[in-house]
């Protein structure tokens, strides 16, 4: 019996949840049944990027579609698995055109699967209504050419139904999962290495001050401005974000205005930032839009006390006052009080972190995610 050939398409091969997802699936699939290959916008598809250029009727996007058609023709996959919003739309249009010009019988034409890593049109995302509805329309069109749509959370599954992106028979909810046996640095080593990465090399951190940390791209969806505001209410802690992105300058300016720049630090990502998690006494996410975040699962595996905002699939992971603390979005006061409460009550923090580690091991492991995805591939 021949192997099922799967071609993964992703916008870019940088650090992020979608990239980790593709890697975890491709690496852990049963090699006796599946053959995999990954192509990405930064390496194999020159015109494929997350940027939107409406000039000349989206010429860049049509050039990306042409590149994708050529890749499909060369690779001859059985399944085209698309990841991220832009790749999902353009890859689906390219697949439709490819099928039309290849004249293959429907039974042997490649199946198209799209994974939504948090719908871009999420109503809490930082988008205008016209932009949001434009994305809804694009995904509705793309869904016509997709055989299955994987939602990484029940929240995203329900959003797809709510906005009529596709019918129920096309949608499947499969939670992200990780291998919880991550090679974390021990606390002392992680703190030393992060201290060495501070932009001000002469700055000396006090030994008895708690560390509050987050890991993520500096983009509007992560809403790190709320975390900066919370830090201004907590003079007793250091704050760290490991990440880079377009919001960096604005966040730096805000931290200066709120006079927290001396204890709010931005550290460039390495691509293996989960290994530093044990440096933090509290892990925090202040997002307004999420799918089912890998870094949250990794922080739970690191036995960290967690404070998060209610966004996307996060409530499917964190149960308030059971394995973490969950607060409303864009509420610096409540975020600061929750973080301070865990710092002041280490026994409660320890119990929450222990339950979090059990949760991720039992309910969000990579084995379950891969098995569900394999079943979807074979049934597509």
Q: What is the mean pLDDT of residues 48-55?
A: 67
List the structure tokens of 370.
Answer: 């891969």
Give the tens place of pLDDT for each residue, 317-342.
999 999 999 999 999 999 999 999 99
Q: What is the DSSP track for 209-230? A: S-EEEEES--SGGG-HHHHHHH
Residue 335: predicted pLDDT: 98
Q: What is the mean pLDDT of residues 189-201?
A: 87
Residue 52: predicted pLDDT: 64
Give the start-to-end residue ranges of the domains of the chain.
Answer: 4-177+365-379, 187-363
Q: What is the mean pLDDT of residues 348-353?
A: 98
Instruction: Tell whether the model's pLDDT for residue 107 goes beyond 70.
Output: no
Residue 95: predicted pLDDT: 97
Residue 199: predicted pLDDT: 66
CA dist., res. 115 & res. 311, Å (int): 18
Q: List, in order, residues 6 or more apart from 116 with CB less than 8 Å away.
A: 85, 88, 149, 150, 151, 152, 156, 160, 291
Record: fold of 4-177+365-379: Rossmann fold (3.40.50)
Residue 102: predicted pLDDT: 85
Q: Which residue has the higher pLDDT, 12 or 27?
A: 27
Give the tens place of pLDDT for each residue, 15-35.
577 889 999 999 999 999 999
Cα angle at 242 between 209 and 151, to 5 degrees?
125
| pTM over the 0.85 mark | yes
Residue 15: predicted pLDDT: 58
Residue 302: which pLDDT band, with cuts at 50, 70 and 90? very high
Residue 84: predicted pLDDT: 87
Helix (H) and strand (E) counts in the chain:
12, 12
Q: In CATH, what number does 187-363 get?
A: 3.40.50.2000
Residue 209: which pLDDT band, with cuts at 50, 70 and 90? very high
Q: Find the length of the chain.
A: 380
Residue 264: predicted pLDDT: 96
Q: Which residue has the higher pLDDT, 131 or 297?
A: 297
CATH fold match for the domains 4-177+365-379 and 187-363:
yes
Residue 201: predicted pLDDT: 62
CA dist., res. 255 & res. 249, Å (int): 10
Residue 54: which pLDDT band, with cuts at 50, 70 and 90? low
Q: What is the CA radius of gyration of the chain?
A: 21
Q: What is the mean pLDDT of residues 40-69?
A: 80
Residue 295: predicted pLDDT: 96
List the structure tokens of 64.
Answer: 């990306």
Residue 200: which pLDDT band, with cuts at 50, 70 and 90? low
In 3D, which of 113, 107, 100 has the Cα closest to residue 9? 113
Instruction: Tell whether the model's pLDDT for residue 6 goes beyond 80.
Output: yes
């Amino acid at each position: 019996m021949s192997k099922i050939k799967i071609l993964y398409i992703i916008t870019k091969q940088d650090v992020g949840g979608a990239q980790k997802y593709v890697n975890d699936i491709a690496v852990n699939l049963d090699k006796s049944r599946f053959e995999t290959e990954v192509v990405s916008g930064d390496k194999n598809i020159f015109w494929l990027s997350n940027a939107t250029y409406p000039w000349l009727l989206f010429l860049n996007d049509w050039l990306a579609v042409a590149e994708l058609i050529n890749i499909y023709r060369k690779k001859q996959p059985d399944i085209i698995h698309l990841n991220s919003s832009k790749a999902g739309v353009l890859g689906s249009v390219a697949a439709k055109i490819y099928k039309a010009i290849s004249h293959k019988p429907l039974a042997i034409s490649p199946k198209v699967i799209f994974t939504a890593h948090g719908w871009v049109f999420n109503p809490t995302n930082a988008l205008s209504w016209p932009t949001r509805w434009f994305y809804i329309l694009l995904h509705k069109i793309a869904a016509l050419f997709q055989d299955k749509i994987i939602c990484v959370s029940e929240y995203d599954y329900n959003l797809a139904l709510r906005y009529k992106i596709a019918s129920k028979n096309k949608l499947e909810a499969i939670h992200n999962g990780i291998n919880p046996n991550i090679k974390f640095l021990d606390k002392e080593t992680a703190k030393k290495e992060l201290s060495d990465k501070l932009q001000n090399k002469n700055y000396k951190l006090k030994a008895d001050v708690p560390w509050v940390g987050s890991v993520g791209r500096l983009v509007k969806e992560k809403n790190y401005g709320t975390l900066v505001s919370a830090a201004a209410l907590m003079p007793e802690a250091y704050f760290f974000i490991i990440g880079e992105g377009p919001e960096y300058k604005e966040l730096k300016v805000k931290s200066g205005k709120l006079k927290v720049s001396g204890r709010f630090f931005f550290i460039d990502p390495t691509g293996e930032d989960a290994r530093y998690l044990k440096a933090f006494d509290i892990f925090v996410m202040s997002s307004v839009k999420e799918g089912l975040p890998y870094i949250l699962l990794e922080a739970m595996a690191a036995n960290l006390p967690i404070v998060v905002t209610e966004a996307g699939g996060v409530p499917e992971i964190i149960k308030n006052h059971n394995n973490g603390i969950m607060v409303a979005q864009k509420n610096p006061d409540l975020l600061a009080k929750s973080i301070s409460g865990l710092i002041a009550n280490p026994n409660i923090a320890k119990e929450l972190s222990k339950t979090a580690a059990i949760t991720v091991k039992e309910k969000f492991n990579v084995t379950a995610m891969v098995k569900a995805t394999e079943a979807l591939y074979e049934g597509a």
